[in-house]
Amino acid sequence: MQAQLELDKEPWEKIVKELYDICAYVAGYKKTIDLEEGIKRLETFIEANQSRYSNFIYPFDQKKAAFLHYVRTVVRRAERSLVKVNETQLIDTAVLQYINRLSDYCFVNELV
């Protein structure tokens, strides 16, 4: 899938690892979580590429844009779920920040 969509493999491998860490943290298998490097990496990419956005994006013309748009909606759903969990089980703010930045990362990746 990654090759078909022309996605850079390295950042997505890091994202998958960080998402596994987040799942382990939320499930209680990890007591602490360090996402500072991941958040910085996402923000650096976003800042470097967000200027490409000038019009509304219709994700129907390209497989990559459509796929990333779908991934972004799933990430937003996960973010809403984590905010809800945070009402009863305190979630590290870095987790919430990472998920929020990941959604923006997916959006900006549609432009690249």
Query: How far is residue 23's CA from residue 100's CA, in Å, rounded to a whole number?
Result: 15
CB atoms within 10 A of CB 59: 15
| pTM, entire model | 0.86
The model's pLDDT over 45-96, given as tens digits with 9 standing for 90+, comes to 999 988 876 666 666 667 888 888 899 999 999 999 999 999 999 999 999 9
pLDDT value at residue 46: 95
Closest to 63 measured CA to CA, from 5, 2, 1:
5
If one counts every other C-beta atom within 10 angstroms of the C-beta of residue 63, the result is: 13
Q: What are the counts of helices (DSSP H) followed by strands (DSSP E) for the chain?
A: 4, 0
CATH fold for domain 9-111: Hypothetical Protein Ta1238; Chain: A; (1.20.1200)
